[in-house]
Amino acid sequence: MSGLYLHIPFCKQACTYCDFHFSTNTSFKAEVVNAIIQEIKSRSTNWVSKELSSIYFGGGTPSLLAESELAEILNSIGDCFDVSPEAEITFEANPDDINEKSLKVWKANGVNRLSIGIQSFSDEILQWMKRAHSAEEAMRSLEIALEYGFESSNVDLIYGIPSLSQTRWEDDIERVLNSGLKHLSAYSLTLEPKTLFAHQVEKGISLPPDDEKAKRQFTYLREAIRQKGWEHYEISNYCQPGYRAKHNSQYWQRIPYLGVGPSAHSFDGTVRRWNVASNHLYLKKISSNNQYWETEKLTKSDKINELIMLGLRVKEGVNLHSLKENEGIDLLARNGEYIASLLEKGQIKIADGYLQLTDEGQLYADKIASDLFV
Ligand code: SF4
């Protein structure tokens, strides 16, 4: 079994903070869709598994696909792979594209889960972010997604924004937890180079992300979801019990996934591969049969570091026994002093052979992971 990720590299407008690969010029959309179909066909012939347990349309903005484009992509996937009848088929959609017509189309084509890019329920913040939707559209998209049976859908929110007050954040969380949808991904605002946000900070027009505020808002979110009986199963992901995201969970477990489309990443168990992050070059190289990707074969230490980093991000933690038996690394012996200091500070715990971050430790997840790297 494996997952399939499709990168749809088009957006209506550029969001202030975003550094994903996308273009606002949609005049080549049909060509890119055809090239994606070509890539699905060619890569399916030697991919590690014919069986798909999940399909994820990400981007960019997949909700910009026309019905015929979505149907063609899904038909080609069906021709090339065995899609499990229980497969999770997720479609990233922005609130301004969610309406009765689009929901019917997505449902009829087999999409069974949405990931809705809300980010905030404040018009002022949405305008600063240069999102294409309003707070009212955001609320309406949640209601209508639920009406059409997409209750397992995800909502994306961002915190740590300089103008996001604590009251506003608490209200954002409340709206999601009361919406009837079952999954939330919440990310701290980051300052990425070459974004409009980076430019604004450099010019003194915007304040940078507020780390202390981000910690407070993250801490509040964890408490709020626990009180509602939700599960915090990955550092940025929360759900009602039984509603973990299947596709993304495969990333954290290092299960192979095939990534198709400009900038998409793949992992076959040993090699990481990424496609060129340019629509123009992707089209040109696919049509002329030239290489449009780069690869990196993971070394033994790359693999161990990934197991540590990904393990610390998930609720279950790092499997110490498996690390010792399969990779020959006894983390407790190798990093004994450091681990003892983290235990003393209450930043980690060891339970049933797993090394887990505590609430306090999650605030330093990246630092702890890199300190443990081999
Ligand atoms: S819609 Fe999503 S992918 Fe497109 S610019 Fe905004 S955040 Fe980035």
**367 CA distance to ligand 1 middle (Å):** 28
C-beta of residue 281 within 8 angstroms of C-beta of residue 292: yes
The pLDDT value recorded for residue 74 is 98
Q: What does the block give as tokens for 276? A: 């060129």
DSSP code for 10 = B
Could you give the dihedral angle defined by the CA atoms of residues 313, 318, 319 and 321, in that order, rounded to the nearest 10 degrees? 170
The pLDDT value recorded for residue 78 is 98
Q: What does the block give as tokens for 191? A: 């300052």
Rounded to 5 degrees, what angle do the CA atoms 33, 101, 118 make?
75
- The Cα–Cα gap between 145 and 199 comes to 36
The pLDDT value recorded for residue 226 is 96
**What pLDDT digit, counting tens, does each position of 268-309 carry?**
999 999 999 999 999 999 999 999 999 999 999 999 999 999
- The Cα–Cα gap between 290 and 207 comes to 44
The pLDDT value recorded for residue 105 is 98
Q: Which residue has the tokens 């909502």?
A: 155
**What pLDDT digit, counting tens, does each position of 92-137 carry?**
999 999 999 999 999 999 999 999 999 999 999 999 999 999 999 9
- pTM for the model stands at 0.96
Q: Give, using CA atoms, the residue closest to atom 8 of ligand 1.
A: 18
**Shortest-distance atom of ligand 1 to CA 117:** 2
**Shortest-distance atom of ligand 1 to CA 11:** 4
Q: Give, using CA atoms, the residue closest to atom 6 of ligand 1.
A: 15
Write phi, then psi, for 237 (nearest 5 degrees).
-130, 140
**What pLDDT digit, counting tens, does each position of 235-274 carry?**
999 999 999 999 999 999 999 999 999 999 999 999 999 9
The pLDDT of 18-27, averaged and rounded, is 96
- The Cα–Cα gap between 261 and 5 comes to 9
Longest dimension (CA), the chain: 59
**60 CA distance to ligand 1 middle (Å):** 5
**53 CA distance to ligand 1 middle (Å):** 26
The pLDDT value recorded for residue 104 is 98
> Residue length, the chain?
374
**18 CA distance to ligand 1 middle (Å):** 6
C-beta of residue 171 within 8 angstroms of C-beta of residue 136: no
- Sign of CA pseudo-dihedral 213, 220, 242, 138: negative
- The Cα–Cα gap between 56 and 65 comes to 14
Q: What does the block give as tokens for 65? A: 């696909």
Residues in CB range of 75: below 8 A, 6 or more apart: none
Q: Which residue has the tokens 């010019």?
A: 203
- Give 3-state DSSP helix, strand, coil % of the chain, rounded to 5: 45, 20, 30
- The Cα–Cα gap between 181 and 292 comes to 38
The pLDDT value recorded for residue 16 is 97
The pLDDT of 65-79, averaged and rounded, is 98
**8 CA distance to ligand 1 middle (Å):** 11
User: Which class for 250: exposed (0-12), middle (13-18), buried (19 or more C-beta within 10 A)?
Assistant: buried
3-state secondary structure of 219: helix
- The helix or strand, by DSSP H or E, that contains position 93, with its residue range, turns out to be strand 82-93
**Shortest-distance atom of ligand 1 to CA 94:** 1
**Shortest-distance atom of ligand 1 to CA 14:** 5
Ligand 1 pocket: which of 10, 20, 26, 120 to mutate (most atoms <8 Å of CB)? Answer: 20
C-beta of residue 7 within 8 angstroms of C-beta of residue 262: yes
Around ligand 1, the residues with Cβ closer than 6 Å are 11, 14-15, 18, 20, 22, 59-61, 94, 117
- The Cα–Cα gap between 240 and 180 comes to 10
- The Cα–Cα gap between 176 and 8 comes to 26
Q: How far is residue 40 from each of residues 64, 74, 80, 232, 260, measured CA to CA in Å?
A: 20, 10, 8, 34, 7
**What pLDDT digit, counting tens, does each position of 23-66 carry?**
999 999 999 999 999 999 999 999 999 999 999 999 999 999 99
The pLDDT value recorded for residue 216 is 97
**What pLDDT digit, counting tens, does each position of 301-359 carry?**
999 999 999 999 999 999 999 999 999 999 999 999 999 999 999 999 999 999 999 99
**What pLDDT digit, counting tens, does each position of 151-190 carry?**
999 999 999 999 999 999 999 999 999 999 999 999 999 9
**What pLDDT digit, counting tens, does each position of 203-216 carry?**
999 999 989 999 99
**What pLDDT digit, counting tens, does each position of 180-199 carry?**
999 999 999 999 999 999 99
Ligand 1 pocket: which of 12, 13, 15 to mutate (most atoms <8 Å of CB)? Answer: 15
In our burial notation (b when 16+ CB lie closer than 10 A, e otherwise), range 72-101 reads: bbbebbeebbebeeebbbbbbbbbbbbeee
